[in-house]
Structure 1
Amino acid sequence: MYDEVHIGTFTTESGISIPDVVISYERAGPTHGPIIFVCHALTGNQCSIGLNDSPGWWSGLIGEGKNIDTSRWQVITMNVLGGCSGSTGPQSMIHENQQYKARFPFVTVRDIVHSHYLALKKLGIHQVHAIIGGSLGGMQVLEWGIMYPDFAKMLFPLATSPYLSDYGIAYNTISRFAITNDPSWNDGEYDTNPNVGLSIARMVGMISYRSREQFNNKFSREAREGWGNHHEEKAFQIESYLHYQGEKFVNRFDANSYLYLLKAMDSHDIGRGRGGWLRALESISAKVVAISYKGDLIYPSETLEQLVEALKDKNPTSKHIEVDTSFGHDGFLVEYEKWGHLIEEELNENH
């Protein structure tokens, strides 16, 4: 089921009020079943399960008979504040004939979590069994544990970190530069998406999401048939792949939303204003099962391993698991046979 919930006026961390905020969501599973709340990543949305003719981005993990079994668990996924899939964001209307576009206020990961907390309360939900998410979704999971320690019994942060590294910010900087230097950008007041810049930004992202091993094994310098010497021709399959990913992306995502969510990721630091990230972890009371993926360029395994070691002083049952994969960061979106059962086992053991 897809629906939306109105949470009224929302005030961001920076003190700016956004009137009439709407949060779009997907809800599946038994009405009175224990709830698992799913947080999506940068270019995701609320369609984690999806429909038969349009599978969601986590349909390999969630559904009837799958690792997160919707015949047993009720699963709710919400589109982020600032997104472009139904929740209030840059494409939303300020007035009857005017969109926010670049006038939308800056939002943080904490703003996203707080807006979802208010939305869940509107739905009559005051506690869930578990919260799970990868990448930007994993950032939200950590903030949930700190901001609302009693809201979830279990936390599953995947492919994430307590703060975004300078290396991660560097990739985001290149993506922003590509978008804001597109001839169609118009300071964010574009009538049509700045497709060239957004496409380049997506290609940059794709490079950071996969490991060197995965790219080399997948493409192996395979050349395209019939290519010549013209500089615009795509000589190798890797070139064609990246161009395809960029072109596909511009048809489903808004450039302003992409920029706002990149900035939210840049500002992510659970220790901000809390005396550092180690001290911030002291607020977490839920069991944490953190999963990292071998070869992840942006969120290396040792970061989550350090986080869990720090948590064990308070909750010795918390654990870190590294998944052996060649997909790097994108490991949390594929190869469920390697790690989905770990989620299933933890959920069953702690229910």
Structure 2
Amino acid sequence: MMSDISMAYNTYGTLNEDKSNAILLCHALTGDQYAASRQPITGKDGWWSFMIGPGKILDTDRYFIVCSNILGGCMGTTGPLDIDPDTGKPYGLNLPMITIGDMVRAQALLQDYLEIPDWFAVMGGSMGGMQVLQWASAYPERCFSAVPIATAAKHSAQNIAFHEVGRQAVMADPDWQGGNYYESGRKPRAGLSVARMAAHVTYLSESALHRKFGRNLQDREDLTYGFDADFQVESYLRYQGINFVDRFDANSYLYITRAMDYFDLASDHGGSLAKAFAGTNTRFCVVSFSSDWLFPTSESKDVVRALNAAAANVSFVEIETDKGHDAFLLETPEMLTTIGGFLESTAKSRGIA
């Protein structure tokens, strides 16, 4: 049990007088609260900067955007690297196991702190989409509309398997030290880098990999017949892995991937996903991508069928793209049109000018 938690969050725009224009953004596995701000470690623009700002889909002249770092994270919200007040040392693996439900309960506490009675919309992709579904199920009265993107109501065996590969890579690194590496001056950089490389492959489609890299060589004319990065795709993955370890905590990676694995919304409602949304008045816009094999469209359709069975107000769009799972983090025109149209019609019904 944790008696106290800290939450780091960013806001964009202004809360209106009747507090009806607040949107909660839920970030994905390796995301953070810097949705439209410069990330302080990488110096890069926020992960949804193309969506957020004056005149953009998430118009900061119209909406008040809130994005918090998840519970178990490593960018200011309580996680494994934070100090356990009972020991005076980092929690490490002594942190209680975190679930998607715990993340949402922490966000509900933030909502109370901000004195926002209900969110105009809760939005997010991938693990963020899991949080959206949890919000709509656990707090329907606090969630006027919901936009789950490229997600599912439970983690598949395939996705659990990929996560286990990543976790084992971290734990096999001698510098992991049973999770107690914080005071040693050494981090399991190699293991976390490999975990990131393996995961990143799942975010792209085969056609996207072929289009971007093919079998092109990296800064050379011939094969070396060795184990350097001969191919551009190898160099790209190594770059992704190396840069990831500078901004992410290895134990957080273990906890968060496990939270995704444990997520199964129907299991909390007698095995019926429809019961998870029984009696809901929340308005839903479910979005999937045709080339996403990590969270395929079939899993979004399962959510839509459950929402229909619960007589919910739901619209669904599968977007044709070869960009794979990462399409929700890219400026995909059809996604912008879909979400923009949904928010516009929902805002009118909410009376948001």
TM-score (norm 1): 0.92
1:164 matched to 2:155? The reply is yes
Structure-1 residue corresponding to 2:301: 305
Which residue matches 1:295? 291
Equivalent of 1:340, from 332, 336, 341?
Answer: 336
- Code of the aligned partner of 2:99: T
Aligned match of 1:238 in 233, 238, 248? Answer: 233
Contact 1:146/1:283 (8 A) holds in 2: no
Q: What's 1:28 paired with?
A: 12
Q: How far, CA to CA, are the matches of 1:113 and 1:157 in structure 2?
A: 14
**1:103 to partner: Cα distance:** 1.1
Contact 1:223 1:235 in 2 (8 A): yes
Looking at structure 1, the residues matched to 294 and 308 of structure 2 have their Cα atoms a distance apart, in angstroms, of 24
Q: How does 1:1-351 map to 2 (within 5 A)?
A: 17-32=1-16, 34-51=21-38, 54-95=44-85, 97-190=88-181, 191=184, 192-226=186-220, 229=224, 231-276=226-271, 277-282=273-278, 284-315=280-311, 317-351=313-347
CA contact (8 A) 1:61 1:336 kept: no
How far is 1:350 from its partner? 1.3
Q: C-alpha deviations, 1:157-203, integer Å up to 9, x for none?
A: 00100100001101001001100001111100113320111000000
5+ residue gaps, structure 1, are 1-16
1:124/1:93 Cα in 2 relative to 1: closer, same or farther (>3 Å)? same
Distance 1:252 1:177 in 2: 20
Partner AA of 1:224 in structure 2: Q
Q: Give the conservation status (yes or no) of the 8 Å contact 1:293–1:324.
A: yes
Partners of 2:27 and 2:326 lie apart in 1 by 13
Q: Which amino acid aligns with 2:83?
A: M
Q: How far does the alpha carbon of each residue in 1:69-108 deviate from its partner, in whole angstroms, 9 at most, with x for none?
A: 1111100001000000000000110137411111111010
Q: Which has the higher strand share?
A: 1
Distance 1:183 1:219 in 2: 33
Distance 1:199 1:29 in 2: 36
After alignment, is 171-180 or 220-229 more displaced? Answer: 220-229
228-237 vs 22-31, which deviates more?
Answer: 228-237
- 8 Å CA contact 2:15–2:22 kept in 1: the answer is no
- Residues in 1 aligned to 2:268 and 2:303: alpha-carbon distance in whole angstroms: 18
Question: Aligned-pair RMSD on alpha carbons?
Answer: 1.6
Q: How many residues align?
A: 335
CA deviation after TM superposition for structure 1 residue 279, in Å: 2.4
Residues 14-35 of structure 1 deviation map (CA, whole Å, 9 limit, x = unaligned): xxx2122111101111232601
Identical columns (%): 36
Q: Unpaired runs of 5+ in structure 2?
A: 348-353
What secondary structure, in the 3-state scheme, does the structure 2 residue paired with 1:338 have? helix
Cα distance, 1:336 vs structure 2: 3.3
Distance in 2 separating the partners of 1:230 and 1:342: 48
Aligned residues of 2:277 and 2:310 also touching (Cα < 8 A): no
Which string of whole-angstrom CA distances, capped at 9 and with x for unpartnered residues, describes residues 142-171 of structure 1? Answer: 000111011111100001001000011010
Alpha-carbon distance in structure 1 between the residues aligned to 2:230 and 2:174: 26
Say if 2:15 and 2:63, in contact at 8 Å, map to a contact too: no
Q: In structure 2, the residue corresponding to 1:133 is in which secondary structure?
A: strand
SS of the equivalent of 2:211 reads helix
State whether residues 280 and 312 of structure 2, in contact with CA within 8 Å, keep that contact through their aligned partners in structure 1. Answer: no
Q: Is the 8 A contact 1:134 1:160 kept in 2?
A: yes
Determine the C-alpha separation between the residues in 1 that align with 2:305 and 2:68.
30
**CA–CA separation in structure 2 for the residues paired with 1:245 and 1:319:** 35
| Distance in 2, Cα, partners of 1:136 & 1:120 | 20
Q: Is 76-85 or 305-314 further displaced after alignment?
A: 305-314
